Amino acid sequence: MQANAAISNNSTTGAEAVGLRHDWSRDEIRALFELPFNDLLFQAHLLHRRHHNPNEVQKSTLLSIKTGSCSEDCSYCSQSARYDTHVEAERLLGLDEVIASAMDARRNGATRFCMGAAWRSPKGRNFDRVVEMVRAVKGLGMETCVTLGMLEDGQAEILRDAGLDYYNHNIDTSPEYYGEVITTRTFQDRLDTLERVRSAGVNVCCGGILGMGETRDDRAGMLQTLANLESHPESVPLNMLVQVEGTPMFGSDELDPLEFVRTIAVARILMPESTLRLSAGREAMSDELQALCFFAGAGSIFSGAELLTTPNPGEDADDTLFNKLGLAAEGA
């Protein structure tokens, strides 16, 4: 494949820039995965530089606003009520706690504050309380993101009107492998929620997890689904599975880290304008591996010592890494 094969001359419909494609075949994506590593990274990095500042990385901070006792059976997740994990269930946090945490994150250089709840879907009074959290965090001058599970008609509009910038809802894996990972909601349920978010005009944050025992073809299928959405997600989190004791995925074969880098590079080529987030799993990654991920196209991380329920490199480790690589935090 030539270095410019990823750029088509066909214009796309909708608001997206000319040149973005939404018609990737599985074979084309497989061919990208099979390129020699240096060719793949070169091609991805060229596109990354064309569309993004390669020396700037956006930092988001995560807060679990409602932890554990989730009804769903996502087999990677520490928060499902079905698995006996280290996680203690907690009630929805109060508004004051959320505001204090967002102010801390802002002080530490995060430009986006992401609130996650272990729900199948947000309902009633709980939904209203999250809407108030979004309004308050937006009022602090930060970008807002929530991940609350499946949305019903009308909820995305309410969140948008409160100041929501991004809704995170992952497809997690390929359509073919999905049933091996989750049985309590379908792949189509996820696409329906993404469509509600998109049509409300809220930015879509959607990606998945690698290292769950999926094949390369599944990784290609996940990226194909994302790239062939009517508009590419503005933000694409790529998580390396954090193996949590007690979950069915605990003890899975580890993914070759270079395959993780390849997946970022292929995502970069398929969705050149999207921000790719190097999400869960950084705690177990070397500096060298993270550096390769940034070279391949990752432009965002979660900062802070904890993700939702698992550890993440803290601010100091990230500052050291950024200094070594000459990276600047966006907005710093």
- Residue 287's H or E segment, with its range, is helix 287-296
Residue 155 or 243 having the CB closest to ligand DTB = 243
Strand partners, 209: 239
Least distance in angstroms from the C-beta of 218 to ligand SAM: 14
> CB of 228: closest distance to ligand SF4 in angstroms?
24
Residues that bind ligand DTB (CB under 6 A): 62, 78, 116, 147, 168, 170, 207, 237, 239, 242, 279-280, 307-310
Q: Which is nearer to ligand SF4, 35 or 197 (CB)?
A: 197
| 277 catalytic residue (yes or no) | yes
Q: Are 245 and 86 in contact (CB under 8 A)?
A: yes
Helix (H) or strand (E) segment spanning residue 155: helix 155-162
> Amino acid letter at 117?
A
Site string for ligand SAM, 147-176 (x = CB under 6 A): x-x-------------------xx-x----
Which listed residue (112, 277, 282, 293) is catalytic? Answer: 277
Rg (CA), the chain: 19
Give the count of beta carbons closer than 10 Å to the beta carbon of residue 280.
23
Interface residue with ligand SAM, options 83, 119, 127, 295 (CB under 6 A): 119
| Catalytic residue (choose from 21, 112, 145, 219) | 145
Which spans of this chain sit near ligand SF4 (rule: CB under 6 A)?
A: 70, 72, 74, 77, 79-80, 118, 120, 149
In whole angstroms, the minimum distance from the beta carbon of 49 to ligand DTB comes to 25
> In DSSP terms, which residues pair with 50 in a beta bridge?
none
Q: Which of 77, 112, 196, 293 is catalytic?
A: 77
Site pattern 63..92 for ligand SAM (x: CB under 6 A): -------------xx---------------
- Residue located via tokens 């349920």: 189
Size of the site for ligand SAM (CB under 6 A): 18
Q: Quick check: is 293 catalytic?
A: no
Tell me the angle at which helices 287-296 and 257-270 cross, rounded to the nearest 10 degrees: 20
> Residue 172 binds which one of ligand DTB, ligand SF4, ligand SAM, none, with CB within 5 to 8 A depending on kind?
ligand SAM
255 near ligand SAM (CB under 6 A): no
The amino acid present at 291, given as its one-letter code, is A
Helices and strands (DSSP H and E) totals, the chain: 11, 10
Active site residue 206: no
25 by Cβ neighbours in 10 Å (0-12 / 13-18 / 19+) ranks as exposed
Separation between Cα atoms, residue 285 and residue 293, nearest integer Å: 10
Which tokens hold the place of 120? Answer: 């199948």
Active site residues: 70, 74, 77, 114, 145, 205, 277
